[in-house]
Amino acid sequence: MTVSSGVPFRQNRLLASLPLETVERLALHFQPVTLTVRDVLFHPGDAMPDIYFPLSGMVSLIEIMANGTSLETRLIGREGMLPLTAFLGVQRSPRQALIQAGGQALRVPVAVLREQARERAPLRDLLERYAAATLLHTAQTTACNGLHLVEARLARWLLQALDRVEAPTLPMSHRLLGIVLGVRRASITTAAATLQRAGLIRSLHARVEIVDRPGLEAVACECYGKMRRATDEVFAGTQRT
């Protein structure tokens, strides 16, 4: 398999930023996979032999506490890859990876990606920048969840999801939004009603429609802008050859 044989690697922003020769090396090991909504890619404690580069859809990394409560620590779509911890040498997952929106991905063995990163500076440099951005995202999410009102946090998350699926309607129930934001379902219902009254969203059964993105950006906390800039900086100056 080579990238010229129809592998849609450009749909993933990381892969699209790499030199063609580097992608061709990885493409020898690509395996297309389907991401089915609500499926779990891996549970806490599972081995992580593969890296996923989403081409569409999105995946939440969920931290699950001993008492069953949970909170999203990272949202990954076509701008990234997962699990980053596996690439960094962690063999078993510390958290759950839940598919929030269905799509497609390219899977590659961790060992292959690590070997190619050692041998190819453009790949190594790109993934180092991505790792730095991931650390910022995780820290910003922690601060956001501890300091900002639910309405602002909900607006921030909806914008992040919109960036990844590029569709105005998101397949998210209030229960799942409560899980990713770490709040009670009733709190999500109240926050969603506030955003709906403002004409920013339309909250439907098991899905949310974005009606006014600029208005939603005005309501979202500062964290959305910081996290989006961190992602953009990963790709600043990269150019495929």
pLDDT of residue 241: 41
Rounded distance between C-alpha atoms, residue 154 and residue 172, angstroms: 12
pLDDT of residue 7: 65
Rounded distance between C-alpha atoms, residue 74 and residue 61, angstroms: 5
pLDDT of residue 8: 85
How would you write the pLDDT of the chain (241 residues) with one tens digit per residue?
Answer: 334 345 688 899 999 999 999 999 999 999 999 999 999 999 999 999 999 999 999 999 999 989 988 899 999 999 999 999 999 999 999 999 999 999 999 999 999 999 999 999 999 999 999 999 999 999 999 899 889 999 999 999 999 999 998 788 888 889 889 988 989 999 999 999 999 999 999 988 788 999 999 999 999 999 999 999 999 999 986 544 4
Strand-by-strand arrangement of the 50-54 sheet: 31-35, 103-109, 50-54
Q: State the DSSP code for 121.
A: H
- The gap from C-alpha 173 to its chain's centroid, in whole angstroms, comes to 18
Contacts with 138 (C-beta within 8 Å, 6 or more apart), sequence order: 73, 74
Q: Are strands 31-35 and 58-64 parallel, antiparallel or unpaired?
A: unpaired
83: tokens are: 């699990």
Rounded distance between C-alpha atoms, residue 72 and residue 22, angstroms: 32
Residues comprising the chain, all counted = 241
pLDDT of residue 238: 59
On whether the CB atoms of residues 48 and 93 are closer than 8 A, the answer is yes
Domains of the chain, earliest start first: 3-120 (2.60.120.10), 149-220 (1.10.10.10)
pLDDT of residue 62: 94
For residue 11, the SS3 value is helix
Identity of the amino acid at 128: E
| Residue 71, H or E segment | strand 70-76
Residue 227 Cα distances to 110, 148, 209, 224, 233, angstroms: 26, 15, 22, 5, 10
Cα dihedral value 227, 229, 230, 235, nearest 10: 140
On whether the CB atoms of residues 98 and 38 are closer than 8 A, the answer is yes
